[in-house]
Structure 1
Amino acid sequence: MSIPTPFHTEPSLDDPKVEKANLTLLQDKYKDRYTTFSKEKLYANEDVYLYQGFWYRSKGLVSLPTLLAAQETFQANPNDIYLATLPKSGTTWLKALTFAIVNRTKYKNNSLLAHPLLISNPHDCLPHIENEVLRTRPTYVDLSSPRLFATHIPYPLLPRSTIDYGCRIVYMCRNPKDVLISLFHFVNKLVEKYYGQLTIEEVFERFSKGITPCGPYWDHVKSYYEASLEHPTRILFLTYENMMNNTENNVKHLAEFLGYPFTKDEQDNGVVQEIVKLCSFENLSEVNKHGNVRDGPEKNTFFRKGKVGDSSNYLTSEMSAILDQITKEKFHGLNISF
């Protein structure tokens, strides 16, 4: 079983300061292009721009400059594996599960190698395409296979080589109401210090109109769902709710799709359960109580509750009904349920 190259830990190879400088260069490079696009206000008076049907911020690691750069420069390998999600749809959990599945023999019974998920954030273990274009040296420095990447890029906007090579893609979506609430809390943690608290009404208004990073939510989900119907052997479509409801069976299914199925001995010896426990919300949130991920935010920002249905504690009945109606209309004829 081939093991992906470990992520870098040496600052000289992977320096956030260099990435920040490269991001500034990309913003300058593409500014004349994206400022001609339609724009709307997002949060804290920030502009988002409409690019080929999807809204993108002009700044940050997941932004129009990094998307445009990825489309122009990112080169896939045929054996790559991509984890695709809309923000706040279970990205951290899916990264942890995939990293643990693919690398499970590397850290098993090796006292000299601490498992990265016991000391690091999943976002530091498995890179985003959007981050990769900022690095002066790739995360994977040799041709070991498969390479693991995550992305928030909608299916129609993926770098062309990922489609042309038929790379495997795992997509996970989540109930839009829970995505909204998770986004509401996440954004407030990031902007409160500078702009004060956003209200749920502010976030709801934009979300329901489709104005959300990498959204509209419904178009993002639909793009991968329809692609999974067209290419069922290379695109696996998952829902957060089903993963939560039947985690062990879904982890086994995920491992098979990734090309790393669990052997009978592994299943008999509880390896599946070990990975589920390692990647559980309780374990990951405990590991990530302190410190920051390498690109800035505090690690605990990515862990709030991880529950299904928490939106009922925040949304009014009218808000809930509006989102239900939009979802019914947008997903009409599609077998997507939460």
Structure 2
Amino acid sequence: MGTPQQQEDRLSPPEAKWWVDGQRIRHKGFWFKPEFITASEAIRAHYTPLPSDIILASFPKTGTTWLKALTFSILRHSSTIHDDRDHLDNLNPHEVVPFLEIELFGENPSKDTTKISCPRVFNTHLPLSFLPDTVMTSGSKVIYITRHPADTFVSLWHLYNNKFGTEISIQEAFDDFCKGIVPAGPYFEHVLEFWEARDRDGVLFLTYEELKGKPEENVKRIADFLGCKTMVEKVVKECSFENLRGASKETGEGVHWSGTKYKMFFRKGVVGDWKNHLTQEMMKELEDIAEMKWRGSGLDLNIF
């Protein structure tokens, strides 16, 4: 029969407009494509974190691209590590930091972890509970970035409509987001898992809003966390939204291996865009969900 959770996970998934790029199934309470669930099991079985590994974790559309760029640039300019990696002028951040669940342990992995020079930097949209327990005991570093749920939702909604040419109404999409029926969702539980691990050694919890508000201070915070001495102002300038969007591949019609046009990784890069799309009633609903889901954890919307 299995546990109640296992029985629930085997239930037929609801139909959702978000599934335009492939059906999801529920696993450990989260919605992922079947191949990502298989990959997560392979990660737990076969990924051996090294003390020098850096794992960048995030829910989709919460600052993933920016965090990849910042980490890559910090390491490249570090006087501690003397990294000789290529320059971001010629590469998209998603080309220099591979996804654990796709390029490394996906159906057709394109990279071998043993051939990546240290410090190895990986990325994932998987919840913390999907990763090996050794991630927390190996000495490796985990940086989690999150973003206000309203801006996260708006950015995700725009991406799906633009990428797949769909016309998911904002109300339909919002209702599903609130129910947690979105890719990698539910959002609130995803954030909570990493928030509750923030006091452990080797875990840094960041918000997109912090980075936007005080970029130099938070780039230094990331560098210090990684044990790097780096040129903070140079990293901030190199990884500014304008510079990243203006790089060669972002200005053209090039397409990333995932099928996403490079320019789609950079829409507005602002805080508070939700005000142009959501009603006060919608915002109140998000506030109520956050209060219910995060109650007692110390996590609330005031951190954003």
- Segments of structure 1 that go 5 or more residues without pairing to the other structure are 1-33, 263-270
**Pairwise CA distance, 1:180:** 0.2
Give the structure 2 partner of residue 268 of structure 1: none
Give the structure 1 partner of residue 34 of structure 2: 58
- Aligned 8 A contact 1:40 1:47 in 2: no
Of 207, 217, 221 in structure 2, the residue corresponding to residue 239 of structure 1 is 207
- Aligned 8 A contact 2:10 2:26 in 1: no
**Pairwise CA distance, 1:126:** 0.8
- Aligned 8 A contact 2:9 2:28 in 1: no
Change in Cα spacing, 1:146 to 1:97, as seen in structure 2 (3 Å) is same
Query: SS at the partner of 2:184?
Result: coil
Cα distance in 2 for partners of 1:82, 1:75 equals 12
Cα distance in 2 for partners of 1:165, 1:76 equals 6
Give the structure 2 partner of residue 49 of structure 1: 25
**Pairwise CA distance, 1:326:** 0.8
- Aligned 8 A contact 2:54 2:120 in 1: yes
Q: Structure 2 length normalisation: TM-score?
A: 0.86
**Pairwise CA distance, 1:284:** 0.6
Give the structure 2 partner of residue 295 of structure 1: 258
Cα distance in 2 for partners of 1:316, 1:81 equals 39
Which AA in structure 2 matches 1:226?
E
- Aligned 8 A contact 2:78 2:228 in 1: no
**Pairwise CA distance, 1:136:** 5.3
Q: How does 1:82-121 map to 2 (within 5 A)?
A: 82-105=55-78, 115-121=86-92
- Aligned 8 A contact 1:71 1:158 in 2: yes
- Percent of matched pairs sharing the same residue: 37
Cα distance in 2 for partners of 1:297, 1:140 equals 28
The reply to whether residue 40 of structure 1 matches residue 14 of structure 2 is: yes
Which AA in structure 1 matches 2:185?
G
Of 189, 203, 209 in structure 2, the residue corresponding to residue 219 of structure 1 is 189
Cα distance in 1 for partners of 2:118, 2:172 equals 44
Give the structure 1 partner of residue 5 of structure 2: none
- The count of corresponding residues between Structure 1 and Structure 2 is 285
Cα distance in 1 for partners of 2:9, 2:282 equals 32
The reply to whether residue 199 of structure 1 matches residue 169 of structure 2 is: yes
- What is the root-mean-square deviation in Å for CA atoms of aligned residues? 2.5
Q: Structure 1 length normalisation: TM-score?
A: 0.78
Give deviations 1:194-214, integer Å, cap 9, x for gaps: xx3211112101100011222
Query: SS at the partner of 1:135?
Result: coil
Task: Between 129-138 and 96-105, report the one with greater CA deviation.
Answer: 129-138
Give deviations 1:212-261, integer Å, cap 9, x for gaps: 222211111110010112x0x31011111111100101000100001113
Give deviations 1:277-326, integer Å, cap 9, x for gaps: 11011011111122122333110111100100000100122111101111
Q: How does 1:145-224 map to 2 (within 5 A)?
A: 145-192=118-165, 196-224=166-194
Change in Cα spacing, 1:259 to 1:37, as seen in structure 2 (3 Å) is farther
Give the structure 1 partner of residue 246 of structure 2: 286
- Segments of structure 2 that go 5 or more residues without pairing to the other structure are 1-7
**Pairwise CA distance, 1:48:** 1.9
Task: Between 203-212 and 322-331, report the one with greater CA deviation.
Answer: 322-331
- Aligned 8 A contact 2:136 2:202 in 1: no
Change in Cα spacing, 1:298 to 1:139, as seen in structure 2 (3 Å) is farther
**Pairwise CA distance, 1:35:** 9.0
